[in-house]
Amino acid sequence: MTVAVFFGCTFIAFGPAVALFVFTIARDPLRVIFLIAGAFFWLVSLLLSSLVWFITVQISNKNSATQQTGLLIFGVVLSVLLQEAFRYGYYRLLKKANEGLLALSQEDTMPISIRQLAYVSGLGFGFMSGAFSVVNILSDSLGPGTVGIHGDSQHYFISSAFMTLAIILLHMFWGVVFFESCERQRWWGLGAVVISHLVVSCVSFVNPHYQGSLIPTYIILSVMAAWAYLCAGGSLRNLKLCLTCKDKDFLLANHRPR
Amino acid sequence: MLKGLMFLCVLCSSVEQKIYVVLNETVPCVRLLNATHQIGCQSSISGDTGVLHVLETESDLDWILSSGPHPPYMVIMETAFFNRSVMMRMKNSSRVAGVAVIISKTGLADNFSPHTTCPNQNTGVYSESYGSDLANCNGTVWNPLGNGLSYEDFSFPVFALKDENQTQVLRKCYEDHNQRVNGSAPQYPLCAMQLFSHMHAVTDTVTCMRRTDLQNRFSINPEVLCDPLSDFNVWTSTRPLNNSAKGHAADESVVIAATRLDGRSFFWEQAPAAEGTVSGIVTLLATIQALYPVTQEAPPPRNIFFSFFQGEAFDYIGSSKMVYDMEKNDFVIDMNNVHSMLEIGQVGLRSGRSLWMHSDPVSRQNKSVDTEVSEEEGKLSLFSHPLPPSSFQRFLRARRIPGLVLADHNTSFTNRYYESMYDDAENLNVTYPPGLTPDEQLVYETDAAKSLAEVATLVARSLYLQAGGEEKNLNNITADPKIVNISVFLTASFYIGLGPRVHGPAHSVTRFVQYILANLTGTVTNLTESQCQNPSELSTENKDLFSYFWVSGPASVNGTREPFCVRASVRLSKAVSPAFELLEYGSRNYSTWTESRWKSIRARIFLVASRELEVMQPALVELTETKQKNISAKTEIMFIK
């Protein structure tokens, strides 16, 4: 549907994530490396789940609609579980790597904290997941037509873009919560991440009733955002100070070396 | 998002399938070029898109050309509106992205001929130096109903909609989204169509061939931009002629019987040409069938040479090539061998039993020519108008030989659909009683078939007499209406096309006529397949006099076929304009028609959304970006305990 829609949807989907990257990650090469490694881990999980999907589709009965629906649901659930499994695998790898990094570095403190790793790896997962969700759709949005000639909803492109935005940010929050839960051995936190991921993926089955899928996703996004903020060390007081612009006075009063 | 994939195949781009409906049957109008002009239609390289609008009434025309709020429009044109005035208004408007013409009989005007009023006026025999008062149709306008649309240059694509189901899809999309409600404009999203027919050649043949030559010389991967129109003429003779002996054939005096083999219309590869071409082909085939046995039993002194010329619609490609070869001594006979000529023009629409014979008044000023022609005509009164457009004119350009052109018209064509898509079986009044199977139709004697058989009998007898045969044998010469099984030809397309084709080096119609001739005039031999393909190894067979065809034979009851070898004196001769051999691409004497090349010709429909929706989305993004910067500046404070 022309170049305007293409750029619009691209910026909606990737804008915040790219802005986060540019302002918080791009300056530090170590963070960039861990981001890309995180993206790679997500990619491997997708590869495995797509292999399983491909094989099951080939051996299934292509004409039976119920079987295909069942297969789709199975594929989604399997993919979510594999992604979370790889997130856990990445966590273990990072723990091991951190010990090695500490030994190599000349400072006493770790060059990158586990919380920063959580954020960066979550964002890496998010980038790759977003790319695979939306790039195909974006390339079709370049042509002159829009979705709808067979009766589908016209808001396909923009809904996909908003969904992708939500997924990218969710992956980032899930990363933070997940790593924090693993550090504190709070297994119910892990379970909550997995379940919310499953819910967000499965709620897309109500499409094309986009309000039915986008609204729950954004509710979960806000909840996870708040939870991740708390996990990262934020509090309501800090937030109030920040938003009312009294932060400079506070810092001067409580200056501590970082 | 994932649910959408459910009912679609796993491997294809399902988003694209949600957006576009591809139209499978596309009949485009393509670009043709000659020495000085380009004609036909062209789209831009990435296709032309427009909002669909069906042109059914005059108010629709105003909507498209001036008042509609969503230009450019892609016009779906009802048959009644496909005429010169409407198309010229579309051509001059900037609000038309393309036209799709519905081809149907409902609403068809009484006449429609997209050809010019004076066909082939620059390459015929009449010019400033020969019969100048008859040149450029000053004497008789042959095609007064012609609107010349085929020879206009359109800068937007024009497609034809022949498939009724496809037209229905378009109409439904239009009715669902684009219909005006109570006179107010329709709301977005609107149904739109995109047509792709980008042509590589521009301006004229000289430019195109120059660029092709440059490509061939300097490019690693040369890209040809256009191809000359070419195919093959089919010829045969009652006495075999030695194909390897070119130039003057000793002791041969030949009467030529000719007709044309091609037609054209506004659209590419669509040329039913029933009255224009099929009537002539079928008559000549019936003539050959009637004449051949008698010429073998009681051979007349002169040889009779039958020729089917290809490409005559495009400035006499086939006949000019044959004349050129004859003059250059590159053909089995030359102009000195030619005694006289009889050509069969459009003979399908005879009213009553009248048949007109046209002769050239200028050459008849020569007494010997005049005598011959009078004998040919059998002492009927002559008319002093010019010859209609015919291959005979090219022979006259080379040598003043006596000749006649037979036609069903006197002054102007009776064919009201000359060189158009509507010159089909119905135009020829070929009708079958209801309930006949296709096989029964093949042998049914229609009135048209009987009429053409009468013409064929007349032609055959005249040819026999002209060749010096005896009158007593004339009663044995009768054409059988069953042989004139026209229905087979009425579904074919007679457009000449380009050189090598998918199913062999010649056009399918050319091949078909060649094989029918071999059937009618050939003899079955008992050669094996390898002998049939290399007959020169055998002493009894002569490759110079005959050609040999390995035929699969009729299907027997249990489905098997017994192939055999047929020997006939039927040959193909190349029909490409001499201008391309002489490399005179700007020639005024010979045909210089070329057809442009293209990459893809296709059409698809989809919905388009409003501009406002498109622009709104980037604006949303700006908001998010600015917020981001603010927040990152405050990370210190936000995460301190």
Q: Per-residue pLDDT tens for A117-147?
A: 999 999 999 999 999 999 999 999 999 999 9
pLDDT at B237 over 90: yes
- At residue B516's C-alpha, the angle toward residues B512 and B519, to 5°, is 140
Which pLDDT score is estimated for B619?
60
- At residue B88's C-alpha, the angle toward residues B83 and B91, to 5°, is 125
Classify the C-alpha dihedral B366-B371-B375-B381 as positive or negative: positive
Contact criterion met (CB below 8 Å) for B31 and B201: yes
Q: Could you tell me whether strands B564-568 and B523-525 are parallel, antiparallel, or unpaired per DSSP bridges?
A: antiparallel
Give contacts of A79 with chain B, Cβ < 8 Å: none
Residue B374 pLDDT grade (very low, low, confident, very high; cuts 50, 70, 90): low
Average pLDDT over residues B477-491: 77
| Residue B11 three-state SS | coil
Q: What distance in Å separates residue A257's CA from the closest CA in chain B?
A: 12
Q: Tally the residues of chain B.
A: 641
pLDDT tens digits, one per residue of B17-76: 889 999 998 899 999 999 999 999 999 999 999 999 999 999 999 999 999 899 899 999
- At residue B98's C-alpha, the angle toward residues B92 and B99, to 5°, is 100
A50 close contact with B: CB closer than 8 A? no
Residue B251's Cα: distance from chain center in Å?
A: 38
Q: Which of A4, A235, A247 sits opposite B614 (nearest CB)?
A: A4
Contact criterion met (CB below 8 Å) for B428 and B414: no
Q: Which of A16, A144, A241 sits opposite B606 (nearest CB)?
A: A144
What's the burial of A8, exposed, middle or buried (CB within 10 Å: 0-12/13-18/19+)?
buried
The reply to whether residue A147 touches residue B19, judged by beta carbons under 8 angstroms, is yes
The reply to whether residue B606 touches residue A145, judged by beta carbons under 8 angstroms, is yes
The reply to whether residue A145 touches residue B639, judged by beta carbons under 8 angstroms, is no
The reply to whether residue B18 touches residue A163, judged by beta carbons under 8 angstroms, is no
Which pLDDT score is estimated for B641?
37
Residue B81 pLDDT grade (very low, low, confident, very high; cuts 50, 70, 90): very high
Q: Which of B10, B607, B641 sits opposite A149 (nearest CB)?
A: B607
Contact criterion met (CB below 8 Å) for A221 and A164: no
Q: State the Cα–Cα distance between residues B240 and B466, nearest whole angstrom.
A: 19
Mean pLDDT, chain B, whole residue set = 86
Contact criterion met (CB below 8 Å) for B106 and B79: yes
Residue B494 pLDDT grade (very low, low, confident, very high; cuts 50, 70, 90): confident
Which pLDDT score is estimated for A37?
94
Classify the C-alpha dihedral A166-A172-A173-A177 as positive or negative: positive
Q: Which of A148, A207, A239 sits opposite B4 (nearest CB)?
A: A207
Nearest CA-CA partner of B580 in B597, B594, B599, B566:
B594
A98 close contact with B: CB closer than 8 A? no
The reply to whether residue B6 touches residue A72, judged by beta carbons under 8 angstroms, is yes
- A residues 227-246 closer than 8 Å to B (CB): 229, 232-235, 238-239, 241-242
B11 close contact with A: CB closer than 8 A? no
A250 close contact with B: CB closer than 8 A? yes
pLDDT at B502 over 60: no
Average pLDDT over residues A192-198: 95
Which pLDDT score is estimated for B536?
83
A142 close contact with B: CB closer than 8 A? no
Residue A253 pLDDT grade (very low, low, confident, very high; cuts 50, 70, 90): low
Which pLDDT score is estimated for B613?
61
Element (H, E) at A169: helix A156-183
Rounded to the nearest 10 degrees, what angle do helices B447-466 and B279-297 cross at?
50
- Show the tokens assigned to B550: 């390995």
Percent of chain B clearing pLDDT 70 (strictly above): 88
pTM of the predicted structure, to 2 decimals: 0.87
Contact criterion met (CB below 8 Å) for B474 and B464: yes
Q: Is the ipTM of this complex over 0.90?
A: no
